[in-house]
Amino acid sequence: METTSRPSRRPLVYLVVAVVLWGTSYAVTKSAYGSLPPMYVVWFRMLAALVAFLPFLRVVKRPDYRRGDWKSLALTALFIPCCYYTCEGFAIAFTTSSQAGVVSAVMPLAVAIAAWAILREHLTARVVVAAVVSVVGVAVLSLSDRSQASAPNPLLGNVLEMGAMIAASGSTLVVKRLSSRYDPLLLTGLQMAVGSVFFAPLALASGPVAWASVPASAWLSVAYLGIGCGLGAFGLYNASLGMLPASRAALAVNLVPAVALVTGWLALGETMSALQVGACVVILGVVVYAQLSGSPDRSAGEPG
């Protein structure tokens, strides 16, 4: 019994660390936007993650490439970083870090719906109801917030964050399929390498930057986002996908809003109205409700 319990703790630890990193990333990103345009922040975090990955290139396990894998590899790179970071990069510029973190709670539902649409996995009525209610909750959360300096267009920002979660869901399914033959760190490094190229023209098109006035704190934020929240968090999450069913790994994202809310309040002084707090409770509640329908379906060959 002892030998079987030890491996099960490792993916849990991976997921907890990844969630803490992701949860704090919203406030850190918001802070970095005070000194750098969004696409520059995204581009530099890609570069930081890629530089941090390069020393590990020699020790990562050689992939078991099979014919046609390039399509899956291209698809996961399209989802993350291209679509995910484009949507989230602008999302946090338009909404508060706290709201963006709450919207991320819909990812487990998006994974379930994507698995039903693409992999033909069973979709319960609970998940359908939860998906509809959570979208309504996000709408209430967005529409009940007035524009302010830190959130000039909450509705647009939260819609973009929803798009980022859909992209993350697609990446989860593709990485799950590749994780048995590809080192998760290698997949993460590939995503960061693609992002370093993809976001370069978008950053340069953002206009000139007064580099001399960029404080050291902004560069530290970019380094934290790239190495910790990028390479570290996605590497740990991708590693957990090789040990757990995708639906179970995605459940960890439910903890991101709590971390985002606390860090947004402590670091940025963000607040919410009573109606918005109620919307947050509804969103988190229906996500938990959707997961109480029983044990997640296991695909053939997936570890329990």
Structure tokens at 89: 């990069």
| pLDDT of the chain, 304 residues: tens digit per residue | 444 445 467 887 888 899 889 889 988 998 899 899 999 999 999 999 999 999 988 888 889 999 989 999 999 999 999 999 999 889 988 888 777 877 877 777 777 777 777 767 677 777 777 777 777 777 776 666 666 666 778 888 888 988 998 898 888 888 888 888 998 889 989 999 999 999 999 999 988 899 999 999 999 999 999 999 988 888 888 888 777 776 666 666 767 777 877 788 777 777 767 877 787 788 777 766 765 654 444 433 333 2
State residue 30's pLDDT score: 87
Report the distance separating Cα 202 and Cα 200, nearest Å: 5
How much is the pLDDT for 225? 94
pTM for the predicted model, two decimal places: 0.74
Q: How many CB atoms lie within 10 A of CB 2?
A: 5
Cα→Cα distances 220→47, 67, 215, 240, 269, Å: 13, 41, 9, 27, 20
Residue 72 confidence (pLDDT): 92
Could you tell me the residue ranges of all domains in the chain? 2-290
pLDDT of the residue at 46:
95
Q: What is the pLDDT, as a whole number, of residue 301?
A: 34
For residue 194, give both structure tokens: 């693609």
CA pair distance 61, 59, nearest whole angstrom: 6
> Which pLDDT value is given to residue 254?
66
Task: Choose among 84, 112, 77: nearest CA to 193.
Answer: 77
Return the HEC string of 204-245: HCCCCCCHHHCCHHHHHHHHHHHHHHHHHHHHHHHHHHCCCC
Distances in Å between the Cα of 166 and the Cα atoms of 88, 113, 133, 150, 163 are: 11, 10, 17, 24, 5
pLDDT attached to residue 141: 67
DSSP 83: I
3-class secondary structure, 148: strand
